Amino acid sequence: MGLKKTNEVEKITRFKSFDEAKEVFINEHNSIDERIEALDYIINHKEIWFVLKMLHELFKTNEMKYHPLIDYAFANFGVKPKRKEDFEEMFKLLKSDNAYLRNAIIEFLKQYGKEAKAFLEELMDSEDRDIRIFAMNILGDIRFEDSINMLRRFILKEKDINALVTAIDYMGEIGDESDIKLLEALKKDIDDPYVHFAIDLAIKRISK
Amino acid sequence: MNIKDFKKLCDVIYRRVGILIEERKYDSLSKKIEKLIKEKGYEDFRSFFHALRFKDETLMQDIINLVTVNETYFFRENYQFEVLINNILPQMDKELPSNEVIRILCSPTATGEEAYSIALHLLAEGKLVEKRDFEIIGIDIDSNVIAKAKRGIFSKRSVQFLPPNLLNKYFKKINDNYYEIDKFLRDVITFKVVNVMDKFAMKRLGKFNIIFCRNMLIYFDDKSRKEVAMTFYDMLKPKGYIFLGHAESMNRIVSVFKTVKIGNTIVYQKP
């Protein structure tokens, strides 16, 4: 007994095929470690959209046991999403009933914001109010060169109060003094105390 | 840079990475910091300090490189080793089969002080190592520091917080400035050059009961931080623990670990 040294090298689990890996991954009786090994194989052999689709189909509800698998997948995509199919699946995930999966995709988008600009613009034009709010959250965090212009355009056309207030809030963070005029004009156009409060706050923050 | 600015800077460094820089270092460090401020193109300390806090993450790395030469030492953040020895390992010892080796990973290990500190704590406690086997592995991306860890020669400064009985028992004084750790300890701890971002090299190290990853994740961007956190998650055995630096929080990176408070120490457990 005591301190010891081993020179053993751990064998990495190998799968013969994607089907074998998928079988291990979807089987809830397997341990989390076995499922992560299978997921690793899948991530290394399939494109992002495929993995996203699989996550969407398998994890429809928010259960704690899925969290490590979702986190592992999003932490380990080796390449950035760029194909149309990638963004289509990302869009579907934003509408998932599983809040954990939705948040995971938002965080993922934040990391790849610059490359995902066109996708973000699509989100901002979505008919779904919640998706537009997601888009604001992402835009506010990414802060790439054109963020402020995208935000200005959004504020001018947004009709939903909650989405608008989210945008105004971010304007307070990333806007400059030239935006005060726009915010003051908006205040005259919209007669809503909630919006007025958000505008006053944003102007205060910009002026600072 | 005046002493007030220096203290402000030291305070930020302490809060971010837990390195305590004493006021007496002002004379030796202030000139180096001023040189860095100039090299980076800042007009004065004020603009540099603002950028350091709010704009440029790389500046913190530069300033840390500048102030942390040989900053690691034995028994650093010792309260974590005490929690390991007094709380976590005895509990694991009760729960795990007696023939199972308890494996501990130090990443990054730098020049080995952390890995050797754990070994010294185990030897000082004495009972646990009599009952079962322990394996300690230290990894680092820097081959120079791994070579130093294997060599086991440490400065007077590095061993300054070691209890005298452990220093006398396990170190040989080479000269007024250096000590060499016992060959037995050098032989039982594994040091390897491994990049934490190399997932397969990490997997080949096997599964661990304990991972020490102190003051490393703060240097990464969000994406890499998440990736490494999930690699560690995968490398931990169920109910295994991860220790981070005192200024770091796993909850801000991923939410899959359970936060456990033992005394004043926060550790993160794989469910």
Is there a contact between B206 and A111 if contact means CB atoms under 8 Å apart? no
Lookup result for tokens 């791994």: B146
**What is the C-alpha to C-alpha distance for residues B250 and B258, in angstroms, rounded to an integer?**
9
A25-to-A10, A55, A68, B167 alpha-carbon distances in Å: 21, 11, 12, 50
Mean pLDDT of B115-135: 96
Where in chain B are all domains bearing CATH 3.40.50.150? Answer: 78-269
Is pLDDT above 70 for B18? no
Measured between beta carbons, the chain A residues lying within 8 angstroms of B130 are 1-2
Encode pLDDT of A102-122 as tens digits: 889 888 887 776 677 888 888
Q: Residue B24: helix, strand or coil by DSSP?
A: helix
Average pLDDT over residues A29-46: 92
Residue with tokens 């993450």: B57
Q: Is A89 exposed, middle or buried (0-12, 13-18, 19+ CB in 10 A)?
A: buried
Q: What percent of chain B clears pLDDT 90, i.e. is strictly above it?
A: 63
Q: Nearest CA to CA, how far is B29 from chain A (Å)?
A: 34
Q: Do B222 and A10 touch (CB under 8 A)?
A: no
Look at residue B15 and tell me whether its pLDDT is greater than 80.
no
Rounded to a whole number of angstroms, the distance from the CA of B234 to the nearest CA of chain A is 6
Stretch 23-52 of chain A: residues touching chain B, C-beta under 8 Å: 31-33, 36, 40
- Do the Cβ atoms of A74 and B200 come within 8 Å? no
CB contact under 8 A, A76 and B227: yes
Please name the residue of chain B whose CA is at the shortest distance from the CA of residue A64: B256
- The reply to whether residue B199 touches residue A67, judged by beta carbons under 8 angstroms, is no
Query: What residue spans define the domains of chain A?
Result: 13-112, 114-208
Give the distance from residue A186's alpha carbon to the nearest chain B alpha carbon, in angstroms.
31
- Who has greater pLDDT, B168 or B11? B168
* Partners of residue A5 in chain B, C-beta under 8 Å: 135, 187-190
HSE, CB side, 13 Å, CA atoms: give it for residue A60. 1
Give per-residue pLDDT as tens, A178-193: 999 999 999 999 999 9
Q: What average pLDDT does this structure show over B64-93?
A: 86
ipTM of the complex: 0.72
DSSP classification of residue B218: G
Q: Is B270 left (phi over 0), alpha (psi -120 to 50) or beta?
A: beta
B137/B145 Cα distance (integer angstroms) = 14
Give how far A33 is from chain B: nearest CA, Å: 6
Confidence of residue B19 (pLDDT cuts 50, 70, 90): low
Which residues in chain B touch residue A8, judged by CB atoms under 8 angstroms apart?
206
Model confidence pLDDT, tens digit, residues B43-59 = 999 999 989 887 777 78
Residue A29: Cβ within 10 Å count: 6
- Tell whether B119 is within 8 A of chain A (Cβ): yes
Note whether B101 contacts A: Cβ–Cβ < 8 A: yes
Please give the class, per CATH, of domain B3-67. Answer: mainly alpha
Residue B241 CA neighbour count, 13 Å, CB half: 22
Q: If you measure CA to CA, which chain B residue comes closest to A13?
A: B203
Query: Does A67 reach chain B within 8 Å, measured CB to CB?
Result: yes
Residues 6+ apart with CB under 8 A from A167: A136, A151, A154, A155, A158
Query: What is the Cα Rg of chain B in Å?
Result: 19
Pairwise CB contact (< 8 Å): B204 & A5? no
A75·B229 Cβ contact <8 A: yes
B183 touches chain A (CB under 8 A): no
A12: nearest CB among B119, B203, B230: B203
The residue-averaged pLDDT of A160-180 equals 92
pLDDT beyond 60 at A85: yes
Query: CA–CA separation, B22 vs B49, rounded Å?
Result: 19
Beta bridge partners of B172: B180
pLDDT at A143: 66
pTM of this prediction exceeds 0.80: no
Cβ-nearest to B135 among A1, A6, A110: A6
Residue of A nearest to B121 (CA): A3
Alpha carbon distance B209, B92 (integer Å): 9
Nearest to B256 among A6, A7, A68 (CB): A68
Any A CB within 8 A of B198 CB: no
Q: Give the gap in angstroms from C-alpha B77 to the nearest C-alpha of chain A.
A: 22
Collect all residues with Cβ–Cβ distance below 8 Å to B143 and sequence separation of at least 6: B193
Most confident of A130-134, A194-198, B9-13, B71-75: A194-198
Mean pLDDT of the B202-229 span: 88
d(CA B95, CA B107): 25
* Closest to A72 measured CA to CA, from A24, A110, A30, A38: A38
- CB-closest option in B188, B199, B254 to A4: B188
Per the prediction, chain A carries an average pLDDT of 88
The hierarchical CATH code for the domain B78-269 is 3.40.50.150
**pLDDT-derived band at B218, boundaries 50, 70, 90:** confident
Q: What pLDDT score was predicted for residue B224?
A: 81
Query: Which tokens belong to A180?
Result: 């005060």
Give a three-class secondary structure readout of A31-45: CHHHHHHHHHHHHHH
Is residue B256 within 8 A of residue B238, CB to CB? The reply is no
Chain B residues inside the 8 Å CB shell of A40: 199
Q: Which amino acid is at B142?
A: D
Contact A40 B129 (CB under 8 A): no
Q: pLDDT above 70 covers what percent of chain B?
A: 94
Least confident stretch, A60-69, A139-148, B39-48, B138-147? A139-148
B232, closest residue in chain A (CA to CA): A72
Facing A111 at nearest CB: one of B190, B223, B234: B223
Q: Does A99 touch chain B (CB under 8 A)?
A: no
Q: Are B193 and B146 in contact (CB under 8 A)?
A: yes
pLDDT per residue over B152-194, tens digit each?
Answer: 999 998 999 999 999 999 999 999 999 999 999 999 999 998 8
Which whole number is the average pLDDT over B137-164?
91
| Model confidence band, residue B70 (pLDDT cutoffs 50, 70, 90) | very low
User: Could you tell me if A1 lies within 8 Å of chain B, comparing CB atoms?
Assistant: yes
Residue B103 clears pLDDT 90, i.e. is over it: yes
